[in-house]
Every structure is written in structure tokens, then in C-alpha cells.
Amino acid sequence: MASRNLQRRTILDPAVADLLAGMENKQAEARLPRRVREKKAKERAKIRARRDQRVTYDLPPQLKQAMFELAESLSLPASQLATLALHRFLQSYSEGQIDLLKYKKPSRSPRYEWKLEFPAEWWQK
């Protein structure tokens, strides 16, 4: 005999499920004390404000780890270290100090003509 704790699942249109979940969240939030509601609203505003600053890049895991370790050791946010590194790179690149030709190889991707291949020893400790 099936367990009594089992609950039959309702299969919903994914859009309906998303909308319903969003509406139920808002309804639940409306019942919270004013102070908690204000705190949640502030958090949402903060997340919205940060949206323009967010970006996702694919990095080699070793580089990601090295950035994390450096940020930890200096007690700094990794985002600010990445900002500094990228700014310095763009500056050096515009001054002609960085030559991409050394790394540039034809790409087979339908989207890009070129790719950069970096020396393997960069990622070896």
C-alpha cells in the first residue's frame, strides 16, 4: 500500500506555475509585519541596483581559485580585484603593451572567428 505521506503532484504549465508562485510570494509578504516588509523591499532594491554591475565570464578554474585566494588573503572583495585587473588590462591594451597575436588562433565556433589559446604553464603551480 502506498505511503499516506505521498502527495499527488499537479503538473502545471510552467508559466502558470511561475506566475502563481510569484503571486503567492507577494501575498505572503503582504502579511508580514511592516518592518520585515520594508527590509525585503530594500533587499530587492539593492539587487535591482546591482543588476547593471553584474556579468558572467567563463574563466579557467585555476584563475578563479587564484583570484579567490588573493581576495581572501587581502581581505578584499574579489569583484574589486577583478575590476582593478580588467582596468589595468584595458589600459595596457590601449597603450599597445599587450599583443593578442601571440595567443590568437582561428576558431571553429559559428559565432567567433578567433579564439585565444593560453600557454598551459600559466595554470601550473
Partner 1 sequence: MFIIALANQKGGVGKTTTAVTLASGFTQHQKKTLLIDLDPQGHIAFSFGFDKNPGLYRWLVLDEPLDEIVQTVRPGLDILSSDKRTESVKRHITLMDFRETILFDRLKDSDYDIILLDMAPSLDVLHINGLVACDWVLIPTRPDAMAVDGVKEILLTMGEITQRGHQFSGYSILPTFFDRTTRETITQFQEIVKTFGERVLPPIPQDTRVREAAAYGKTLWEYSPNSPAMTGYLEGKIQVGGYKQIVDRLMEVIDG
Cα–Cα distance for residue pair 19/96, rounded to 1 Å: 51
Cα–Cα distance for residue pair 54/83, rounded to 1 Å: 12
Beta strand 114-116 pairing with 104-106: antiparallel
Residue whose grid cell is 581581505: 75
Cα–Cα distance for residue pair 36/40, rounded to 1 Å: 6
Out of 6, 16, 49, 120, which residue is the one contacting partner 1 (CB under 8 A)? 16
Tell the smallest beta-carbon distance from residue 51 to partner 1 (Å): 10
Tell the smallest beta-carbon distance from residue 25 to partner 1 (Å): 11
* Interacting span for partner 1 (CB under 8 A) from 4-12, 68-76, 78-86, 104-112: 4-12
- The distance from CA 102 to its chain's CA centroid, rounded to whole angstroms, is 29
Cα–Cα distance for residue pair 27/38, rounded to 1 Å: 15
**Residue 12 makes contact with partner 1 by CB under 8 A:** yes
* Interacting span for partner 1 (CB under 8 A) from 9-17, 42-50, 55-63, 106-114: 9-17
Query: Contacts with partner 1 in 25-44 (CB under 8 A)?
Result: 27
Closer residue to partner 1, CB minimum distance, 6 or 100: 6
Binding site for partner 1 (CB under 8 A): 10-13, 15-16, 18-20, 22-24, 27
